Structure 1
């Protein structure tokens, strides 16, 4: 059995807990939290404070880091890589190289393996982008996200002073999406492909103009998009924005010879973004454990993961039934 720790018990942590329970070769041995451990109601796993992590170093095969990318993982990633084999879903695309470097240094020094940015984008979509380009070297890849709630962007909103709760919806620009699906030439820019809708519950007396300004000017998250901010009550948020759906599409269009077109597509339609992301992170935990068992150390990405390492099936079963 793969002994799994979940670090952080928010939406993603609970999704990872659900995923681990559905894999027969895994068991959740501990949940780490910054809160009072007695206040964290898991499905049965013991809870320990993050300060007690060193005591679990020899009792955990892989630690699934489930903090947010905006502020948590910058500290969680390197700190936990010094103790465990780790997996995370760091999703600030522009900062992945620097994050990789910081985690790589900590993991190599400790002789551990750290698999970063393993959700669905970055993650599965990243793998499909590389696969599409490898198979169709002459062509173009287009990725659309949504419609759905972005956990990372919603978390970034909730970090703003004066914000009690928030949801951020990523929405494809329908005109651009229709043009790509039809194979028409269209300008593809950050702003022309997606827009962002933010619903915010503010503290009583908070400066709404300041909050809106901080949102629309936030680098890496909202500054490059057409972004709308709508302030709602806590009751409206609970009634109308309690779900966390998401989805997206990757399309690689190219030619195999002059005038002969081909395309590769991959779609996700997710009833629960955190539960699906947790499922990806759990599968990547299996892969990371196997890679570490072979003596690999340092940071890795999904580009270093094989399907055989991801699957719970034996190589013989894969060859007999999936090849």
Structure 2
């Protein structure tokens, strides 16, 4: 009798829990409905294609498919790591990624801080429009602009410098300035859009903190150092962790469009090499092995950076 009496309340709690779950689901049914397209997108384009990773361990043949291609184990990885191009590719990829992290995140932050200090609304909107605009240009258009100004022998800037008797600047085929040119064009294109996230974080800072600081006699620089920067620190760390996860990407679209044979020694990266091997030479297994390698490195960096961020007092990304 005692066991039966104890089981009855437990069964009632389970029924009440199921009833509450159904009511909650029905209450937020439209939110779940709107969530379906996003879930399907990630399922179809991100999770199902992960089964294709098996290609990295096969001598993949397009006609035989995944099920008919022979298994070669780690041979594709050995091919990648033993390639004489691999050290150069890794060096170029890591350098460009580090340059992007170091020189791209700070302009985003500085622009957001400057826009946050502007009090004239029409001027602020004008600046935002000018800085956001380049983000919506494709890299083909950006390359066309750079080529129009700096093309060897025919660019506007090149022609002007030659007519003035100066030495023309070769930014497209000169190995010593190719990387800085990539970083500068990336800053010009992405800084305005990247500042949006910081502006959203700045908008969430409690304005009463600034009022209290002003009453205590703190100037704008002191408020910036003690209130503004700590208020957006978590966002900065979050973006840094996410960028570290893509450290072996290095911006394929931009590099591929600007790349030419004269700057292969400083501009050829893993993704452009993968493109040539996979698409142009129809060798799918070796590029797939590089993709697996990149994913593992990105996973390790994200996990490590997240752990370090938590140890330093941050919240990380989970």
Same fold per TM (> 0.5)?
no
Which structure features the higher share of strand residues?
Answer: 1
Q: TM-score range by the shorter chain?
A: under 0.3
TM-score by length of 1: 0.21
Larger radius of gyration: 2
The structure carrying a bigger helix percent of its residues is 2
Q: RCO higher in 1 or 2 (8 Å CA, sep ≥ 6)?
A: 2
TM-score (norm: length of structure 2): 0.22
